[in-house]
Amino acid sequence: AQVAPGAVHVPDWLDAERQRDLLAACREWARPPAGLRTVRTPGGGTMTARQVCLGWHWHPYAYARTAVDGDGAPVKPFPAWLGELGRRAVAEALGPRAAPTGPYDIALINFYDGDARMGMHRDSDERADAPVVSLSLGDRCVFRFGNTRTRTAPYTDVELRSGDLFVFGGPSRLAYHGVPRVHPGTAPPWLGLAGRLNITLRVSGL
Ligand code: MD3
Ligand code: FE
């Protein structure tokens, strides 16, 4: 379903087996070195969702090749199969004409426990305008999709569930968005995940 121009939600895009495989991969990526970390913002804030990066390491508000705000280790490689998954996601959600110019080379993986949130923000640290691919695993959440001008209304709230795909291209690429709440205990029982995981795939343009 199109939520805004270029923003398409595809519920249940990953079947149970693919969800379990992706979760197993995320658990490996979360391990040190350059594993899961808590992100601190320059203003002294702490992000409640913890994060691990592949390909390029995001830190507020730039990309590096090492975990500069973690253990300093080289960022884990971005696997080719994940890039293929991203290209397929864009083709299925937006059509073959929306294919990104360069290869996907960044994955940001956010782990949310029941109290975690993500405030309204724009993703503007990439130098390419390729669509962002978002995959959700585990607990349901409220995803808030806003507008390109302000971090306040108007916005649309969408429930994201385990296995859902969301693609953000065109004018939606620079829209404000956030996760105002996670619903604890709503993950599918067969997944074996307490909490929520979100994987975003991006083209760095770097
Ligand atoms: C719209 N992640 O990683 S996913 C992020 O659930 C981020 O962890 C949230 O916001 C999460 O930056 C939201 C949906 C999402 C992801 C990236 C976007 C929406 C987006 C980039 C541009 C526009
Ligand atoms: Fe974002």
Find how far residue 33's CA is from the centre of its chain: 21
Binding site: what residues are annotated?
121, 123, 177
CATH of residue 66's domain is 2.60.120.590
**Going by CA atoms, what residue is nearest to atom 19 of ligand 1?**
177
Encoded amino acid at 132, one letter: V
> What tens digit of pLDDT does each residue of 60-117 get?
999 999 999 999 999 999 999 999 999 999 999 999 999 998 999 999 999 999 999 9
CB of 203 closer than 6 A to ligand 1? no
Ligand nearest to the CA of 132: 1
CB of 140 closer than 6 A to ligand 1? no
Distance in Å, CA 179 to ligand 1 centroid: 8
CB of 36 closer than 6 A to ligand 1? no
pLDDT at residue 25 greater than cutoff 90: yes
pTM: 0.98
Binding site for Fe cation: what residues are annotated?
121, 123, 177
pLDDT at 195: 98
From 142, 110, 156, select the one nearest 8 (Cα to Cα).
156
The pair phi, psi for residue 15, each rounded to 5°, is -75, 175
> What tens digit of pLDDT does each residue of 177-206 get?
999 999 999 999 999 999 999 999 999 998
Structural domain count of the chain: 1
Distance in Å, CA 126 to ligand 2 centroid: 11
CB of 168 closer than 6 A to ligand 1? yes
Residue ranges making up the domain that contains 167: 2-202
Strands, E assignment, the chain: 2-4, 7-10, 50-54, 57-59, 62-64, 106-112, 118-121, 132-138, 140-145, 156-160, 165-168, 177-183, 196-202
d(CA 40, CA 197): 19
